Amino acid sequence: MNRYTTVIFDLDGTLLDTLDDLTAGVNHMLSVLKLPPCLPAQVRQWVGDGSEMLIERCLPEGRADLRFAQACHIYRDYYLTHSRDKTAPYRGIPELLTKLHRTGFQLGIVSNKFDPAVKEMAQVYFASLIDVAIGESENIRRKPAPDSLLRAIEQLNSLPKETLYVGDSEVDIMTAANAGVDCVSVTWGFRNKDHLITIGARQLIDRPEDLLPLLKGATTCHSFCL
């Protein structure tokens, strides 16, 4: 019998390669405010903690900048319209989700991206494969607080001990730990393998298809797996 009944994924850097559209959104905001643009490599390191933290990291004076609220609105309005210009699932992700769905796993998404964008992307890219999608909103604390992950588990009628959380960053590792959920870190996202090991990743996979044997009880991740 499989240990897990439920698999919940982070979105950016895990299921979807959103870097180009995130960078475009940030640079649109900076252009409106007449500030120099950011490089994709910078945005890659700054994402994961929600849109406000991303904007804070982009502005020279951070949250203390008097234009911070304006910058957040500019970014949000632009990104909601342009979030799918270049975004696409990572290779192998649609096939993975399809196999998991057909096998009977309950599937969810938990992200620090704002909730309307998360729900739209779940529907557009993964249609009927995802049962629950939760993003950042005013009534729930963002990751690494466990609230959104625990809410998704509850909505899926599952339990933390039956759930595996899959993500690409330190925020995802901490979120899973705070929720009492096992975590697998992916190496194709916004953090590289060495960084993930440094920040405490215990299980790593290099390709989406590597998750399937792991869920069935085989050891296909790296040698320091639990």
Query: Is it the case that residue 224 has pLDDT exceeding 90?
Result: no
| Three-class secondary structure of residue 220 per DSSP | coil
Domains of the chain by residue range: 6-17+88-215, 19-82
Domain 6-17+88-215 has CATH 3.40.50.1000: yes
| Three-class secondary structure of residue 18 per DSSP | coil
- SS3 for 166-203 is EECCHHHHHHHHHHCCEEEEECCCCCCHHHHHHCCCCC
Catalytically active residues, by annotation: 10
Domain 19-82 has CATH 2.40.128: no
Whether the Cβ atoms of residue 94 and residue 127 lie closer than 8 Å to each other = no
Query: Is it the case that residue 225 has pLDDT exceeding 70?
Result: no
Distances (CA, A) of 145 to 95, 114, 132, 200, 210: 30, 15, 18, 17, 28
* 217 alpha-carbon distance from chain centroid: 24
> φ and ψ at 159, to 5 degrees?
-135, 150
- β pairing state of 204-205 and 182-186: parallel
- SS3 for 122-160 is HHHHHHHHCCEEEEEECCECCCCCCHHHHHHHHHCCCCH
Across 49-53, 182-186, 207-211, least confident range: 49-53
pLDDT at res. 188: 96
What does the mean pLDDT of the chain come to?
A: 92
Write out pLDDT tens, residues 126-158: 988 999 999 998 888 899 999 999 999 999 999
Taking the C-alpha atoms of residue 11 and residue 13, their distance in angstroms, rounded to an integer, is 6
